[in-house]
Amino acid sequence: MTKLLKSWVESANSPDTPFPLNNLPYGVFSVDEDEPRCGVAIGDMILDVAYLEEEGVIALDDEPALDLPFWNEVMELGPKKWAELRARLTDLLKEGGDHVLSSDADMRAQALVPMADTTLHLPFIVSEYTDFYAGKNHAMNVGTMFRGPENALPPNWLHIPIGYNGRASSVVVSGTDVRRPWGQLKGPNDDAPRFEPCKRFDIELEMGAIVGTPSEGPITVQEADDAIFGYVLLNDWSARDIQAWEYQPLGPFQAKATATTISPWIVTKAALEPFRTSTPDREKPLLPYLQEPGPMLYDIDLEVSLAPEGKSETTITRTNYSVMYYSAAQQLAHHTTSGCPMNAGDLLGSGTISGPEKHERGALLELSWGGKEPIALETGEERSFIEDGDTLTLKGAAKGDGYQIGFGDCVGTLLPAHKDPYKR
């Protein structure tokens, strides 16, 4: 297992920091009223790479690529440039590396900004958003609740990474409040549908993969893996009562369109390289175009906490990304089979990540078994679904030898529904 790479930025050497030199995740930050620009997390600081590019310390392309409020330009430069940038950043920040930054106090003061003084923004322009359904435990649990145990797993599930086209416009960065939606609801015993605030608002614990290299026709699983720029944590907020009524036959629509929250830092594939792991054994052989040439999942510990308004948080689930049946590379390869073009900034949600055990489930729908078994919080309260004022936090870390690769928390607070959404 790879060891901690030591940096002259002291806070990056702590075993507890999510952002050691091994990580170097990409975000967009601003200070006070300054324009948002590209930055790289290192310990408790942000490296202002837009400034370093301006000073000629980093040279990626003929045109500046880092003085922008998104990383899409860098994505479009391709894997060779991604590797060059990572190598340059490592050299600038490592102990005994290039001294241009470490030896120049004025430049250092300009280039390293305390993260606590910054505002973080969406790290890239989400060009498109597709959400998958690749966790078998989740699919079994939800299928059992929605259709009964005999029909839990759809007949195509072991052959196709099932997905639907989501809404890029609804993707928000961690820290953005989410408003409880209204929608059309009808329970199985109701005579007619009604238009009301959602009563079963939920989370989905997922990983998001970000496409870096565009494609125009079908690509292989290996090409898909090569095209992925990095990963974020993703909370696919879900209105279960709206979903249950609307989803057949074309899948979720308004139930998933309120918001999807992502963590603020793009963790690159290079940082996750030591944590690659294989998908579980196939229960049915996959068609050749979906077969993985090597390990394409990652060993990333995940957890979710819930804090009622003004109260302390309780960890409500703990699981690992490696339980997924399909990798993001398989999903991306499948996505292109039709000839569907993929763009830099295309976001692919993994599907809810639920482990086999009850305390490993990645949605309240599963944790409370559709509300029949509310979960206990450390505050003494119970929850079946999210209540107004609750704050949900997703956390993730790949654990190395004396260091960890973190993503930054993926946080959102639920605001109450508007009294009347059509009141003007």
Report, in angstroms and rounded to the nearest whole number, the Rg of the chain calculated over CA atoms.
22
Rounded least distance, CB 240 to Ca ion, Å: 12
d(CA 67, CA 74): 11
Q: Checking DSSP bridges between strand 260-262 and strand 171-173, what pairing results, if any? A: parallel
Before 181, cis peptide (omega within 30)?
A: no
Between residues 17 and 174, which has the closer beta carbon with respect to Ca ion?
174
Name which of residues 226 to 245 contact Ca ion (CB under 5 A). Answer: 236
Rounded least distance, CB 270 to Ca ion, Å: 27
Name which of residues 40 to 59 contact Ca ion (CB under 5 A). Answer: none
The label of the residue with tokens 């830092």 reads 265
CB distance 236 to 412 below 8 Å:
no
Using CB under 5 A as the binding criterion, the count of chain residues that bind Ca ion stands at 3
Binding mask 79-118 for Ca ion (x = CB under 5 A): ----------------------------------------
Binding-site member from 128, 131, 292, 366 for Ca ion (CB under 5 A): 131
Rounded least distance, CB 236 to Ca ion, Å: 4
10 Å CB burial of residue 223 (0-12, 13-18, 19+) is middle
Rounded least distance, CB 35 to Ca ion, Å: 33
CB distance 322 to 299 below 8 Å:
yes
CB distance 323 to 135 below 8 Å:
yes
Binding-site member from 48, 128, 202, 204 for Ca ion (CB under 5 A): 204
Binding mask 160-199 for Ca ion (x = CB under 5 A): ----------------------------------------
Is residue 138 flagged as an active site residue? yes
Between residues 225 and 236, which has the closer beta carbon with respect to Ca ion?
236
Between residues 73 and 246, which has the closer beta carbon with respect to Ca ion?
246
Report the sign of the C-alpha dihedral through residues 95, 99, 100, 101, in that order: positive
10 Å CB burial of residue 199 (0-12, 13-18, 19+) is middle
Q: Which residue is nearest to Ca ion (CB)?
A: 236
Between residues 133 and 229, which has the closer beta carbon with respect to Ca ion?
133
Choose the binding region for Ca ion from 46-54, 87-95, 139-147, 203-211 (rule: CB under 5 A).
Answer: 203-211
Rounded least distance, CB 58 to Ca ion, Å: 37
Between residues 73 and 236, which has the closer beta carbon with respect to Ca ion?
236
Q: Which of 99, 121, 138, 418 is catalytic?
A: 138
Between residues 138 and 180, which has the closer beta carbon with respect to Ca ion?
138
Rounded least distance, CB 131 to Ca ion, Å: 5
10 Å CB burial of residue 410 (0-12, 13-18, 19+) is buried
Q: Which amino acid is at 307?
A: A
What is the DSSP code string of 14-68?
Answer: STT-S--TTT--EEEEE-TTSPPEEEEEETTEEE-HHHHHHTTSS--SSS--SSS
d(CA 246, CA 252): 7
Residues that bind Ca ion (CB under 5 A): 131, 204, 236
- Residues with catalytic function: 138
